Amino acid sequence: MIQGKLRGRRILIEGAADSSTLRNKGFLGRNVGEKLSLDLVTSFVLLLRKKIEVRLHDDSLSVGQIEEIMSEEERKMAIAFDFLKVKGMRPLIRNGKLYALEKNVIVHRDDEFVYFPIGRKRSFLLAITDAERNCIVYSINRLNLKGRTRKGIDGGERDSRDSIDILQRKGMKVASGLKFGSEFRIYEGSSKHARYLMTTGNGLQARELVAKVRIAQSVRKTYIQAVVDSRTEEYVFFEVKWIRQ
C-alpha cells in the first residue's frame, strides 16, 4: 500500500513511483521534486478508499484521526470530492477550492442554508452532502434574464410579483406553482406546458432545494430560483439542474 507521512496539514508521499501512480489517477497535489504533497481532502478520500496509509512517526493514523484534523468545510468537501471522483467528473483541489468538470464546486450540508451568489455570472456546480456521506450535485446557470424590482424603479415596496412582471415583459406566462411545491410555473410563448417552476428569495435550506428540483424534474420542468441583487434592486434568475450520473 502507498504510504504517506503527516506533515502539518498535508500528507507527503515520498516514493517517486507511488507519487506518479497517484498523479496518473488524477489525485493531484504539490510536486516536491519527485515527491507529492497532498491536501487533507484528497488524502482523506484516498484513506477512505484504503488506497494509502498515513503515518505520524511510527503510528498509522485512522480515517477518524485524519477527520479530526480537518475543518468542517474540508469534511464536506471530501464527501463531494469522493462522489465526483466515483462519477468520473474529474475533481481537483486548487488553492483550497474544489473544482470538477472545470467548474467551481460550492458545497453545503443538507441542513445548511444555500445562498445564491449574485455576482457569479459563470455556471458552477452545487454539491449537497449529508451526515451519512451521501452527495447530490447540481449544475447552476445564470439565465440571460433580469429586470428591476418595483423598489428599484419607483421606490415602491419590493414584491415577488415583480418577478412576474419581468418574465411577462420577456413574453412568458406565469401561473401558480402551488401544486408543484413552488411559487410559480412559467410558460414560454403559446406553449400549453410549463417549462419552469420558480421560487423567489435569495436562498433556501438545502433539503428544500433538493425537494423542489426533484419535483420539477419529475414533471419534466426546470427549477429556477429568482434572486434580488440588493445593490441594484434587480432580479437575477438561476437555473438549477440535477446532474444524473
What is the per-residue pLDDT across 96-106, written as a single tens digit (0 to 9) for each? 899 999 999 99
Beta bridge partners of 240: 140, 223
Dihedral sign, CA of 170, 175, 176, 179? Answer: negative
Which percentage of the chain shows pLDDT scores above 90?
A: 59
pLDDT of residue 149: 60
Residue corresponding to grid cell 415583480: 162
CA distances to 35, 195, 224 from 142, in Å: 41, 16, 9
pLDDT of residue 163: 80
Q: For residue 213, what pLDDT band results from cuts at 50, 70 and 90?
A: very high
For 2-69, which CATH class? alpha beta
Task: Tell me which of 1.10.357, 3.40.1440, 3.40.1350, 1.10.3470 is the CATH number of domain 72-138.
Answer: 3.40.1350
C-alpha span between 193 and 64 (Å, rounded): 51
**Domain boundaries along the sequence of the chain:** 2-69, 72-138, 143-239
CB atoms within 10 A of CB 143: 14
pLDDT of residue 193: 92
What is the per-residue pLDDT across 138-182, written as a single tens digit (0 to 9) for each? 999 998 876 666 554 444 445 566 787 888 888 889 999 999 999
CA distances to 21, 162, 219, 237 from 147, in Å: 52, 9, 28, 10
pLDDT of residue 124: 95
Q: Helix 40-48 and helix 72-86: axis angle, to 10°? A: 60
Q: For residue 52, what pLDDT band results from cuts at 50, 70 and 90?
A: very high
Contact yes or no for 220/230 (Cβ under 8 A): no
What is the per-residue pLDDT across 222-243, written as a single tens digit (0 to 9) for each? 999 998 887 887 888 999 999 9
pLDDT of residue 151: 54
Highest mean pLDDT among 2-6, 18-22, 78-82: 78-82
Q: What is the mean pLDDT of the chain?
A: 89
C-alpha span between 25 and 20 (Å, rounded): 9
Query: What pTM does this model have?
Result: 0.86
C-alpha span between 45 and 83 (Å, rounded): 10
Closest C-alpha among 84, 134, 132 to residue 104: 84
Contact yes or no for 25/39 (Cβ under 8 A): no
Give the mean pLDDT of 208-214: 97
Matching CATH topology for 72-138 and 143-239? yes
Give the mean pLDDT of 61-81: 93
Beta-carbon contacts of 234 under 8 Å, excluding residues fewer than 6 positions away, are 146, 147, 148, 149, 152, 228
Task: Tell me which of 3.30.379.10, 3.50.50.60, 3.40.50.460, 3.40.1350.10 is the CATH number of domain 143-239.
Answer: 3.40.1350.10
**Any alpha helices (H) in the chain, and if so which ranges?**
16-24, 40-48, 63-69, 72-86, 150-154, 161-169, 206-218
pLDDT of residue 189: 84
What is the per-residue pLDDT across 73-92, written as a single tens digit (0 to 9) for each? 999 999 999 999 999 999 99
